[in-house]
Structure 1
Amino acid sequence: MPDAAHRKHGDMPAPQPDYQMAEELVIDDLETLKVIADPLRLRILELMHKPQTVKKIARKLEMTPTKLYYHINLLEKHGLIVLVDTRIVSGIIEKHYLAAARGFRLASALLSPGETGESEALVITLDGLFAGTKQDILRALRQGILQPEHEQPTRHLKFWQGGLHLTPEQAQEFYDRVEALWAEYLELSHQQRDSLPECQSYQTLYMLWPSLYEHDSED
């Protein structure tokens, strides 16, 4: 795909320099979900917490810009990123993009099971989440950021998997406390992301769902 910077000036969407990221964007169609579920596009979105050019994103991802234009165009087409500025650099129009929101959520209706009893949207989401998580963990391990035997526990991989036998009230309390803790540290992360160079990026994947598995109990 040709570089968008080489299109005629009149063909480009107008930049929105005053655009402010929304706290949350609800995804309510399968096509947009398929776009955002791609692990590479999720990484691009994470890097666009502040205005970025394709060239800067490519450098951070250790890729060539030409490999990103297709993904950038898809993200922009589906309203997941916003063009906020254009500048002329060495005679070429340089575009600056910003993520449309800090977070993205699936509309509940999109997760409803179809005639087969499964939700295509949920399958797409789970595939994207697990594939992206696996790629990121292995990349961190290869580059030495993740060190399972390091003396500092914060360099380790932490994960828990298991069942909880709870009443509906206890499950709601558990959910509320985890959500509140997540919101607290997410806000802290936003505040210091670009101001404290000693900060390390951490990824989390938290899931809670009612399960068909029965838990063993002692007689």
Structure 2
Amino acid sequence: MPESDLPETFHVTTEEQLRAVSNLTRHRIMAVLRFEPATITQIAARVGLAKGSSSYHVRLLERAGLVKVVRTRKVRGVTERYYAMAARSIELPDPGPGQPDVLMRNAVADLEESPADSVRHVKMAHLRLTDAQFAELGARLNALADEYRALSDPSLPDVSLVFALFRPAQRRQEEQEEEGDAK
């Protein structure tokens, strides 16, 4: 199935889907399938898994509707299945209070495992913005990510872009005062 025929977004709505996408190994399998279909053997090689483990994780993703078989072919009497993402992007529900943000947790794990000698652009900035500035910055970041996703070429190496624009939880006044006294 050409990528142009894929739905734009898959909305994760069930517990089964959330469990499937929350696993780091399955997150990495979906990254392999982001741009082109692959077989279990190809997925296993790219993710660094045994074929049996790769097959197990792909079956869970398929059962949850996140990936699907897009073509098959016979190879020495065995049917080889090519899997692809069910949509161009996946939208996760916002985590509830006290729950981990699955997307950010997996992104940090991927960053930590990226080659130490590779070029990285990592920055954290603390800003003070009006509601309008906050909304504008969010829209600009999303537009920039969409612009570069449209330029993506499957023949080039993978690059991950992750950003989080949020208002941190307000800390209690006593905690802030204690920190001020400690300095």
TM-score for both structures, normalised by structure 1: 0.69
Secondary structure, counterpart of 2:141 in structure 1: helix
Q: State yes or no: 1:89 paired with 2:52.
A: no
Runs of at least 4 residues off by over 4 Å: none
In structure 2, the CA distance between the partners of 1:159 and 1:98, relative to structure 1 (3 Å rule), is same
Instruction: Give the superposition deviation at 1:21.
Output: 2.1
The aligned residue for residue 101 of structure 1 is 87
Check whether the contact 2:36–2:154 (CA below 8 A) recurs between aligned residues: no
Check whether the contact 1:39–1:128 (CA below 8 A) recurs between aligned residues: no
Question: Partner letter of residue 184 of structure 1?
Answer: E
Instruction: Give the superposition deviation at 1:186.
Output: 0.9
Q: d(CA) in 2 for partners of 1:159 and 1:72? A: 31
Secondary structure, counterpart of 1:82 in structure 2: strand
Question: Partner letter of residue 27 of structure 2?
Answer: L
Q: State yes or no: 1:193 paired with 2:154.
A: yes
In structure 2, the CA distance between the partners of 1:157 and 1:33, relative to structure 1 (3 Å rule), is same
Question: Partner letter of residue 138 of structure 2?
Answer: Y
The aligned residue for residue 167 of structure 1 is 130
Q: State yes or no: 1:76 paired with 2:37.
A: no
Q: d(CA) in 1 for partners of 2:104 and 2:169? A: 22
> Matched residues, percent identical?
25
Of 23, 48, 72, which aligns to 1:38?
23
Stretches of structure 2 lacking an aligned partner (at least 5 in a row): 177-183
Stretches of structure 1 lacking an aligned partner (at least 5 in a row): 1-16, 148-154
Check whether the contact 2:10–2:86 (CA below 8 A) recurs between aligned residues: yes
In structure 2, the CA distance between the partners of 1:165 and 1:200, relative to structure 1 (3 Å rule), is same
CA deviation map 1:24-61 (0-9, x unaligned): 11111222111111111111112113221101111112
Question: Partner letter of residue 102 of structure 1?
Answer: R
TM-score for both structures, normalised by structure 2: 0.81
Written as runs of structure 1 = structure 2, the 5 A alignment for 1:55-70 is 55-70=41-56
